[in-house]
Structure 1
Amino acid sequence: MTKTPKSKATPPDIATLTKAKAKVELMRLSLEMEAHNVAYYQKDAPKISDAEYDALRRRVEAIEAKFPELVTGSSPTLTVGAAPSRAFAKVQHAVPMLSLGNAFSDEEVAEFVERIQRFLRIDEVPAIVAEPKIDGLSLSLRYEHGELVRAATRGDGFTGEDVTANVRTIDDIPNRLKGKAIPAACELRGEVYMLKSDFLALNKRQEEAGEDPFANPRNSAAGSLRQKDVAITASRPLKFFAYAWGEMSDYPIDEPTQHGMLKWLDHAGFTVNPLITLCHGVEDALKFYRKIGEERASLGYDIDGVVYKVDRIDWQARLGFAGRAPRWAIAHKFAAEQATTVLEKIDIQVGRTGALTPVARLTPVTVGGVVVANATLHNEDYIKGVGNDGQPIRDGVDIREGDTVVIQRAGDVIPQVVSVVMEKRPKDAKPFAFPTKCPVCGSHAIRENGEVVTRCTGALICPAQAVERLKHFVSRLAFDIDGLGDKQIQEFYDDGLIMHPVDIFTLAKRDARAEKKLRDREGFGEVSVRNLFAAIDARRKIELNRLIFALGIRHIGEGNAKLLARHYGSFNAFRDAMLAAAAGQTAEGNSSEAWQDLNNIGGVGEIVADAVVEFFAEKRNVKALGELLDEIEVLDVEQAKSDTAIAGKTVVFTGSLTKFTRDEAKAAAERLSAKVAGSVSKKTDYVVAGEDAGSKLKKATELGVKVLTEDEWLALIEAT
């Protein structure tokens, strides 16, 4: 299973539950687990990790142990899987395909063996067959007189889905059993799975075809097997391990044992996992578990634990079942969110905001139900072994290319490296040198004081940031160009039509010269192209604050853009001051008059000032900005009036405004030195209510705040 957001509310402590509250909690957990069962077994699209699902089940078991009278036949502890999908015919299992109990510690494994001894009243330690727990899709195969007649999924444990036609395309599953000692009727069981390498190749083909990739090999195998089109299943590289059986008209070997039956399955034509081992004693079994855990990352397929089964089948029959699980078998689960693998390379990715993020390229390994080939290394300090608080992490051990590392996934967290296996560090491994220039555009990469992130300063020219910067440039609070939404920007960028902001305003001229016109593109025409060019031309005149905001400078939001625009008044004054401040930068600091003036603007401060100056210190930003200014006109700031009737007043606009847009209303109020707020409080002076005004109007009435219609508001500001 994969990831999903954690529960919003912390569940109550079981120790504090009353019987009534326990009943409600069990009902909640049952509904939640039922939904996850449907997602996992029917839709092959799990929403939580195996570890999170196991935690839910353990909570149910703990509550039922405290209140046994609340256990019902529909309890999650007594059910398996989910009802079969209606897309397939139903198949009744002659012998139910039940689930396994789980162990999460060595002590629980020892207790499992002791329970067997107590139940059978024996002193000897039973021989145990230990086998890797394959993370795939359980399958039951019915053979009659050696011929495959039906194949079915687990379903809800009692009724599965008929996938016979699909199964016949899997090479690992024989259509006819080999050998002479073949029962007249038998149900043989195992796991359909996909190799990690095949999974990665399949996902690459999915992405190339524009299809959604699978989350992990288990989902991929399950989704491939449960196709209505058999040809799709046949095209997928599915494999099968046999390890169990259901109904048997008679056993094909004398004195049958689990280990002996696995050998017979191998002779009959199935693939049996070669790692399966016969263990004598708990320590022997745990030794196998630890060995498999160490080898897990290097296996070609996914496993999520080890299954222990009593070897003697006559003892299995005596032990029978307890609820949904056999008493003679148990699954010893791995820690689902951690795995060990090799860090092959450290790459630097440049994000849409210019952040340089180091990424570990790993030998692929499954962690928490997802195949992980990459993991975040967060920042320069994290690689060096320093936390965000400046304290050592991983005992101060740095991370190097070639290291063997432990990685983890926890809930929604991106896979990350949590420790380094120092005894396996290559002798020639060198400390990683973090770049001082953007690996994409070559602009200076700086790390602000007090920050852990290093950022590219080439906001207007860096290809890694280009698409997101362009989307920001045409957004509502920036140039607000109608017809240039996110999707259109992405398409134009992909086709090389708009790579930089200036390209927006030269688009019409270039289109006139182009062999293939915009009107000939899919989704366009004469009218739509004419409207787009008109919308662009309508924004050739732009307010200074909108331009400053559109540049996408770090820390410059709508508010700071207005502060800067009001202070400098014109673009030329703003640019000249920023260039002067940039020229005054030295290794010792910045003592220029322009820098001091910038820092003295109320509400700006050193962090914002640094970001603006760094933008103008990058010459290619200045060049790109100059090219843009050849195509547009930046309007000087209209100075706000301080002697108006609404100066210093707080105004809230609510409802659908018909006389003006929300942005126009806000701009007009601010020009008259009013403050525009988003919510109503006792400090609000006016609420301007349009049509369908809701909760804000109601609150204004309750607080006694003066409410104005649009006409009344216009009359108020026009009289000023």
Structure 2
Amino acid sequence: MEAQAAAQRIAWLSKEIERHNRLYYEQDMPEITDAEYDALFRELQGLEKEFPELALPDSPTGRVGGRPLAKFTQVRHSMPMLSLENAFTEQDMIDFDDRVKRFLGLAADTGISYVCEPKMDGVAVELVYREGVLAIGSTRGDGVVGEDVTRNLKTIKDVPLRLETQEPPELLTVRGEVYLPLAPFRKFNREREEAGEPPFANPRNAAAGSLRQLDSRITAKRPLSIFCYAPGELGGVEFTAQSHFLETIPTWRLPVNPLTRVVHGIQEMLAYYQEMMEKRDDLPYEIDGVVVKVDSFRMQRELGEKSRSPRWAIAWKFPPRQATTVVEQIFHSVGRTGVITPVAFLKPVNVSGVMVSRATLHNWEELERKDIREGDTVIVERAGDVIPAVVQVIMDQRPEGAVKPEVPATCPVCGGEVVRLPDEVAVRCVALNCPAQLLERVKHFASRRAMDIEGLGDKFIEQLLSLKLIKDVADIYSLKEEDFMQFERMGKKLAENLLNAIEASKERDLSRLIFALGIRHVGEHTAKLLAGAFGSIENLAKASEEELVSVREVGPQVATSIADFFRNEENLKVLERLKEAGVSPKVEEKRVGGRFTGKTFVFTGALEKFTRDEAKKMVELEGAHAAGSVSKKTDYVVAGADAGSKLEKARQLGVRVLTEEEFLELMQ
């Protein structure tokens, strides 16, 4: 390659690698696999070695990780947290062993002791203990400065807040890897996809996203773990070797990966790698290679470091779990919350020992970004032993006439309306009678916090569906004793109890019914606000998005979700059938039949004779609704001092305007 072309390629690679570093380290949203990143990095290293005069002063080959995020307090590490050089072949490891011996001036046949450990797919952190008490915990950041995530690290059960030793060292700095085990990772991603949120690409990104929460309560809900692997700055304690350190700290309750082992010489090192390769798929966490370190700390100090990595350690990466196959069909899968997800049917292919015939495409934005079409030849990857994903399309093998798939206009299961809420990538079916969602909808409807139909648990609901006795939640109120008698192990008394529980649920509070409908973004608290604001399902169903937003704590996204739900004709039919069946919820915080039932008030300006909340309560007790904005449906605007745009709009629309005194007279 000529120097000019090399310079252009180096510039492009540097910029591209920096972009992927930001996506990976700072945003936890990588666009490419580790293998693809490694290929770019190796290419840049090779060019810089061939053309050293062209290497950029801020080349990513001389950096570690990403810059710390501004939202966290920055922590300067007492000793740099370096990255490791990567190896990809057996020859790379033989070369590493040879380099170590040459640098130390040892004979070629010398057998060096190495500590070998699985390379965790997690987030590097540093824990600092002073007098045995956890003082601060931080991320690696750029290797010199990290992010203070002490509060979040304290929520991890494996991180001791105090070392279990009678004589703790004055200072103990420990480096470790925070990770998310595979089982909770899979569950976490399923929940995100069902909620219409983009899934994490791998356990490492899930761990990083969890650790970087500003609210430590969120981190505490995620079952993160940690393995400690190396010391940093020490005070009042000394270790002679890596193995000495790793044998000692578990007695202080700092966890070490139990698969860590000391090996002697290159052959034992190679055997360890093969052993971990074989165990890889059976481990409860994701590993992507093996880390090898010279055991002796004296040798480590003599070997020293290069610009971004130590000479005494190396990461031997596993080959990527990928294969090439063909997308035979793209179909639409409807999840239990109504999210419609594109899924690829593949020509069956063996990916690291598993036959793969389908792969998730995550969401429509992801599908469009990767431009995946039926007939495409694609690279498929199994990462973290989760559902396989399509990594990329091999464009030069695309068949002529391949058509870009379109977002469905209707639900592929029930034919109902499909909606896409603002600021969401999810496409969603909101029909109450959609068979794909029915099981979870009925479970939620009958649950204790919703309609509280005592005794109607998951097993009975599953039998109702398998016997085709219900097709939506309204059918619950049409069930008869003979229907329940078809169940396994069902007696007459139990059937009577179930029917009595169903009958009792007809008079639950209005907020419970609103919550039971399973409207997107409407939890128990919001349901209570809506019940208090509108007083009936009928009023809520007729409310405009503008009126919904006027309810305290109801934002535009929630308002759109509610409006979409009540715009669905099938949902309205189900609600009508609930009403016909005698479901008549108790009205809360609102007096039906009051003097101003159905009227809407808006309060504006500085009120002197009562607070905004007091005024709202006054009108709600008379059956009215207190809105936050003026519209054609507004009946009264109560204006205090310095009333502004709302007063002006009321005058433009011809809405009756009251002073505070006139309002109090009206309420008498």
Who is 1:132 aligned against?
Answer: 118
Task: Give the aligned residue type for 1:55.
Answer: A
Deviation at 1:231, TM superposition (A): 0.7
Q: Runs of 5+ in structure 2 lacking a partner?
A: 334-341, 361-373, 376-384, 395-409, 419-424, 436-535, 547-562, 570-668
1:316 aligns with 2:300: yes
Preserved contact between residue 117 and residue 290 of structure 2 (Cα < 8 Å)? yes
Shift of 1:245: 1.6
Task: Indicate how the Cα distance of structure 1 residues 488 and 226 shifts in structure 2: closer, same or farther if over 3 A, else same.
Answer: closer
Structure showing greater radius of gyration is: 1
Contact 2:138 2:147 in 1 (8 A): yes
Please name the residue that 2:15 is paired with: 31
> In structure 1, what residue type is equivalent to 2:52?
P
- Rounded Cα–Cα distance in structure 2 between residues aligned with 1:360 and 1:91: 49
Partner residue, 1:202: 188
Contact kept? 2:344, 2:358, Cα under 8 Å: no
**Residues of 2 paired with 1:40 and 1:93: CA distance?**
21
- Partner residue, 2:145: 159
Please state whether the residue corresponding to 1:176 is helix, strand or coil: coil
SS at match of 1:322: coil
Distance 1:145 1:61, change over 3 A: same
Is the 1:359–1:377 Cα contact (8 Å) retained in structure 2? no
1:494–1:327 Cα change, 3 Å:
farther
Q: Please list, as runs of the form range in 1=range in 2, the aligned pairs for 1:340-351 lying within 5 A after superposition.
A: 351=331
For each residue in 1:184-237, what CA deviation from the matched residue of structure 2 results, as whole angstroms up to 9, or x when unmatched? 222101100011011122234434555443232111111111110011111110
Distance in structure 1 (CA, Å) of the matches to 2:235 and 2:564: 73
Q: Which residue of 1 aligns with 2:252?
A: 268
Amino acid aligned to 2:178: V
The answer to whether the aligner puts 1:376 opposite 2:358 as a matched pair is: yes
Alpha-carbon distance between aligned partners in 2 of 1:324 and 1:528, rounded to the nearest angstrom: 54
| Correspondence 1:434-513 to 2 at 5 A | 464=412, 467=415, 490-491=429-430
Correspondence 1:40-55 to 2 at 5 A: 40-55=24-39
1:325 aligns with 2:309: yes
Counterpart of 2:37 in structure 1: which amino acid?
Y
1:412 match: 392
TM-superposed deviation, 1:409:
6.3
1:662 match: none
Which residue of the partner structure matches residue 189 of structure 1?
175
Q: Residues 346-374 of structure 1: CA distance to partner in whole angstroms, max 9, x if unpaired?
A: xx999359999479899xx999xxxx997
Give 1:492 deviation, angstroms: 5.1
Distance (Å, rounded) in 2 between the aligned partners of 1:55 and 1:271: 33
SS of the residue 2:31 aligns to: coil
Against the structure 1 CA distance between its residues 127 and 168, is the aligned structure 2 distance closer, same or farther, given a 3 Å change threshold? same
- Structure 1 97/521 Cα, relative in aligned 2: closer, same or farther at 3 Å? farther
State the partner residue of 1:105: 89
- TM-score of the two chains, using structure 1 as the length reference: 0.49
Q: Which residue of 1 aligns with 2:267?
A: 283
1:71 CA drift (Å): 2.8
* SS of residue matched to 2:392: coil
Q: Name 2:541's counterpart in structure 1.
A: 520
* Code of the aligned partner of 1:213: P
Aligned residues: 403
**Structure 2: how far apart are the matches of 1:488 and 1:215?**
20
Q: Which residue of 1 aligns with 2:465?
A: none
Q: In structure 2, what is the Cα distance between the partners aligned to 1:487 and 1:53? A: 28
SS in 2 for 1:69: helix
What are the within-5 Å matches in structure 2 for residues 377-396 of structure 1? none
1:316-715 matches, cutoff 5 A: 316-338=300-322, 351=331, 357=345, 375-376=357-358, 411-412=391-392, 464=412, 467=415, 490-491=429-430, 520=541
| Pairwise CA distance, 1:260 | 1.3
1:244 aligns with 2:230: yes
Equivalent position of 2:75 in the other structure: 91
CA distance in 2, matches of 1:55, 1:487: 33
Match status 1:168 vs 2:154: yes
Separation in structure 2 between the aligned mates of residue 97 and residue 355 of structure 1, nearest angstrom:
41
Q: Deviations over 1:269-295 (max 9, x none)?
A: 111101111111112111111111111
Structure-1 residue corresponding to 2:549: none
Q: Deviations over 1:671-703 (max 9, x none)?
A: xxxxxxxxxxxxxxxxxxxxxxxxxxxxxxxxx
Root-mean-square deviation (CA, aligned residues, Å) is 4.6
How many angstroms does 1:119 deviate by? 0.3
Q: Does 1:229 align with 2:229?
A: no
**CA separation of 1:377 and 1:172: change in aligned 2, threshold 3 A:** closer
Alpha-carbon offset, residue 491 of structure 1: 3.6
2:244 alignment partner AA:
G
Q: Name the CA distance, whole Å, in 2 between partners of 1:63 and 1:156.
A: 24
What code does the residue aligned with 1:309 have?
K
Cα distance in 2 for residues equivalent to 1:116 and 1:528? 66
SS at match of 2:65: coil
Q: 2:136 aligned with 1:150, yes or no? A: yes
Instruction: Check whether the contact 1:302–1:366 (CA below 8 A) recurs between aligned residues.
Output: no
In the alignment, structure 1 segments of 5+ residues that lack a partner are 1-15, 340-347, 379-387, 390-404, 415-461, 472-485, 497-514, 534-720
